[in-house]
Structure 1
Amino acid sequence: MNEYRRQAAHLVIGTGVAAILLLPFPGAATLIYASGLLGGLVLIETLIRGYHIPGISELVADLERDGAFPGKGSMYFVASALFCSIAFTAETAFVAVLSLAILDAVATMAGLRFGRHTIINGRTLEGSVSGFVALSIILLPIGGPAVALTASGVAAVVELLTPIDDNLVIPPIVGLVLTLLPAV
C-alpha cells in the first residue's frame, strides 16, 4: 500500500463524493449515497468471502492499509456523507464532506513529507497546518472567510483529537458547527 496514492485517491474520490451534494435533484445525493453504501457492503462481503472481483480486488489491495477491514474507510466516508445529506442543507453538507476530503488527504500527505513535530495521535503540526490552510483556501470562494476558517478549524481540531476514524466524525461535526453558528 502506498500512502500517497491512497491519500490522492481520498482527495479525488472524496471531492467527487462531496460534489454529488450539488446535484439539482432533491434527494438524489441521499439515494446515491445509500445505493453506494449498500453496493459497497456487498462488495466487501464478497471480498471477505474470498472471491476475486476484477479491478476491485486490486484496488482494495493497492489502497487499503495493511490489516484493515477492506473498504472500511470508504464505507465510513459514504456513511458520514449520507448522514450529512439527510441532516443538513445541501450547501452545509457539501462543505462538511469536502472538509474531510481535502483536510484529511492534505494533512496526511504533508505530514508524511514534511512532518517533524508530532503533536497528537501521531499527527504532525506541519500536516495539520497544511490541511487547515489548503481547506481554507478551497472553501474561501465557496462560503467566504467565516465559513472557510470555521470549517477548516473545526475539521483540523476534530482530526487531531478524535480517537475514532475521522471519516466518520469530521463531516457531521463540521456540519453541526456550521448549522449552529448561522452567522458563519
Structure 2
Amino acid sequence: MVDNFELRRQIFHIFLGTSIVLLLFFEIFNAKILFMLLLTGSLLSFISREIKIPGIDWFLKKFERGGNIKKFPGRGAIFFIVGCLLVVKLFDRDIALASIMVLTFGDSVSHLFGLYFGKIKHPLNGLKKIEGNIFGSIAGGFMAMFFVNYIWAFSGAFIAMFIEAIEVKMGNNIIDDNILIPLIAGTIMYIFKTGFLFF
C-alpha cells in the first residue's frame, strides 16, 4: 500500500532541494537570501504554534508530521535550509551544490525505496532498510555528478548516507538528517578536492 503522506513529503523534499540548487546555480539565491528565508520560516513556525495562518496551515497539514505541527511546525523545511546555508558558507560552490543534491535525492530515495521495497533491516539502525540506504546513496551520487567528478560524488554520497543511518547524536539529541547529510558529503568532497587524503 502506498503511503501518500510520505510520498508527498519526499516529493516536496526533492522539489525544495532542486529549486534551491537551481536558484543558487543561476545566482538568483545566495547565502544572504537563504538566511532571510531561514529567519522568515522560523518566525512563521513560531507563530504557527499558536495561530493558524491561512495557507501555511494548509501546507502543514499536507506535509508536516503530526507530532511536529504543535511542537515545531515546518521543522523539516527549516532544517533543510539550515543544511543548505551551512554548506554554501563552508564550501566552494561546486561542492556546496553537489552536497545539496546528495541531501535532496539521497535522503528522499533512501526513505521511499526503503519504505516501499526494503526487506533487509539496516545492521546499524533497525528502523531503516539497507536497500533504501544503498539506492539513496546511488541516487545522491549520481545527481551530485552534475557539479563534481564521480569519485567525489559517490564517495560523498555513500559516506554521508552511511553515517546518516547511524543517527549521530549531539548530547541527547539526534542531529537532523537535513544538516548531517550535506555537511558529511561536503566534507568528504572537500577532502578529495584539497588532496588531504594523500598527505
> Normalised by the size of structure 1, how large is the TM-score?
0.90
Letter in 2 for 1:52: K
Q: Which residue of 1 aligns with 2:9?
A: 6
Whether contact under 8 Å (2:94, 2:147) holds in the other structure is no
Question: Is the Cα contact below 8 Å between 1:158 and 1:166 reproduced in 2?
Answer: no
RMSD: 1.8
For 1:85, the aligned partner's letter is V
Secondary structure of the corresponding residue to residue 116 of structure 1: coil
**Alignment pair present for 1:129 and 2:130:** no
Q: Match for residue 44 of structure 2?
A: 43
Counterpart in the other structure of 1:151: 156
Contact 1:18 1:81 in 2 (8 A): no
In 2, are the aligned partners of 1:84 and 1:93 still within 8 Å (CA)? Answer: yes
Aligned residue number for residue 86 of structure 2:
83
Matched, 1:168 2:179: yes
Q: Structure 1 unaligned segments of length 5 or more: list them.
A: none
Structure 1 residue 140, shift from structure 2 partner: 3.1
Contact 2:96 2:186 in 1 (8 A): yes
2:100 matched residue in structure 1: 97
Instruction: Give the deviation of 1:141 after TM superposition.
Output: 4.3
- Structure 1 contact 99–152 (Cα < 8 Å) conserved: yes
**Separation in structure 2 between the aligned mates of residue 114 and residue 40 of structure 1, nearest angstrom:** 34
Whether contact under 8 Å (2:76, 2:178) holds in the other structure is: yes
Is residue 116 of structure 2 the alignment partner of residue 113 of structure 1?
Answer: yes
Over residues 10-59 of structure 1, what are the superposed CA-to-partner deviations in whole Å (9 max), with x where a residue is unaligned? 1111121233331337xx4101110100110111111012x222221111
**Tell me, what secondary structure is at the counterpart of 1:2?**
helix
SS in 2 for 1:123: strand
Higher mean C-alpha deviation, range 136-145 or range 79-88? 136-145
TM-aligned CA deviation for residue 156 of structure 1: 1.5
2:55 corresponds in structure 1 to 55
Instruction: For residue 13 of structure 1, give the secondary structure of its aligned residue in structure 2.
Output: helix
Q: What is the aligned length?
A: 181
2:35 alignment partner in structure 1 = 34
Larger RCO of the pair (alpha carbons < 8 Å, separation 6+): 1
Is contact 1:47-1:57 (8 Å) kept? Answer: yes
Q: CA deviation at 1:175?
A: 1.1
**Matched residue, 1:138:** 143
Determine the C-alpha separation between the residues in 2 that align with 1:9 and 1:128. Answer: 20
Helix, strand or coil: the match of 1:181?
A: helix
In the alignment, is the contact (CA less than 8 A) between 2:102 and 2:143 conserved in 1?
no
Partner deviation per Cα, 1:155-179 (whole Å, 9 max, x = no partner): 2112212232211211112111211
2:99 alignment partner AA:
A
What stretches of structure 2 of length at least 5 have no aligned partner? 169-173
1:16 corresponding residue in structure 2:
19
